[in-house]
Amino acid sequence: MTETLVSVADVTKDYDTGKVTVKALRGLSLDVAEGDFMAIVGPSGSGKTTLLNLIGALDTATTGTVDVFGTRLSGLSRRERADLRLHSLGFVFQAYNLIPVLTARENVEFVLELQGAGEERRERALSVLTDLGLGDFADRRPNEMSGGQQQRVAVARAVASRPRLVLADEPTANLDSENSEALLAMMRGLRDLHGMTFVFCTHDPLVVSYARRVVRLHDGVVQSDERKEAGQ
């Protein structure tokens, strides 16, 4: 039986813009199981990014509970949430968001250094990059790489410490279909190899086609939750 990594229960999230209160999530409930390769889809404003922020301990719910790895996030301090993100979660952003003055290897290594890894972090960073086909690009800076290569470095940064859960926000939005497919294949390979769990926010049908589970949001609630059989 697979373990539930994330449990979102009856969550609401309101944003007070000063004049009006925007209800981004309206009593949403969702579980993420270990090994899920899940796409969260929905139109703009449906609450995808807000949900990712909550699961990623970047934000707190207005009401309801979010448990990650059995820990209730509302009970954690800012520092504890930062620790959770650093040691147990991986993030992949749409805009790659690599540090431009660091090389590919240093970008990966930097997160490992923040985690307190010792001298072995250099070899480990290179090893992860090599596994993702970026060994030859290790000493290049982001501006010396293509968008696809940068996003693969971003994935390497996210998975270098083997987090149990990787959250990806529109990871293919800036990639062409060839690079998107390669990236998704790579992430699915990581899931199959290391048992990592991936949660994507996406509009991209290609991501949906790769996903094993597709959760559709509409107006801040889950509209459908579809699980695919292997091979679908």
Report the alpha-carbon distance of residue 119 to residue 201 in Å, rounded.
Answer: 35
Q: Provide the minimum distance between the beta carbon of 191 and another protein in the complex, in angstroms, as a whole number.
A: 20
Q: Which residue from 58, 182, 206, 208 is in contact with another protein, where contact means CB under 8 A?
A: 58
Report the alpha-carbon distance of residue 92 to residue 168 in Å, rounded.
Answer: 4
Report the alpha-carbon distance of residue 182 to residue 179 in Å, rounded.
Answer: 5
Query: Is 91 an interacting residue with respect to another protein (CB under 8 A)?
Result: yes
CB nearer another protein, residue 84 or residue 182: 84
The sheet with strand 63-68 has its strands ordered as 21-33, 4-16, 63-68, 71-72
126 near 135, Cβ under 8 Å? Answer: yes
Tell me which residue of 198, 188, 195 sits closest to 90, measured CA to CA.
Answer: 198
Tell me which residue of 197, 137, 134 sits closest to 162, measured CA to CA.
Answer: 197
191 near 37, Cβ under 8 Å? Answer: yes
CB nearer another protein, residue 69 or residue 228: 69
Beta carbons within 10 angstroms of residue 203's beta carbon: 15
Tell me which residue of 29, 61, 13, 55 sits closest to 217, measured CA to CA.
Answer: 29
For another protein, which stretch binds (CB under 8 A), given 2-10, 19-27, 95-103, 130-138? 95-103
Q: Provide the minimum distance between the beta carbon of 113 and another protein in the complex, in angstroms, as a whole number.
A: 5
Pattern 10-29, another protein, x by CB under 8 A? --------------------
Q: Which residue from 1, 75, 79, 193 is in contact with another protein, where contact means CB under 8 A?
A: 79
Size of the site for another protein (CB under 8 A): 37
CB nearer another protein, residue 79 or residue 231: 79
For another protein, which stretch binds (CB under 8 A), given 61-69, 108-116, 180-188, 191-199? 108-116
Report how far apart the first and last C-alpha atoms of the chain are (Å, whole number). Answer: 22
For another protein, which stretch binds (CB under 8 A), given 22-30, 67-75, 114-122, 182-190? 114-122
CB nearer another protein, residue 97 or residue 127: 97
Query: Is 174 an interacting residue with respect to another protein (CB under 8 A)?
Result: yes
Query: Is 69 an interacting residue with respect to another protein (CB under 8 A)?
Result: no
* CB-side neighbour CA atoms (13 Å) of 200: 27
170 near 95, Cβ under 8 Å? Answer: no
Q: Which residue from 32, 41, 42, 94 is in contact with another protein, where contact means CB under 8 A?
A: 94
Query: Is 86 an interacting residue with respect to another protein (CB under 8 A)?
Result: yes
Q: Which residues bind another protein (CB under 8 A)?
A: 49, 52-53, 56, 58-59, 78-79, 82-87, 89, 91, 93-97, 99-102, 106, 109-111, 113-115, 119, 157, 169, 173-174
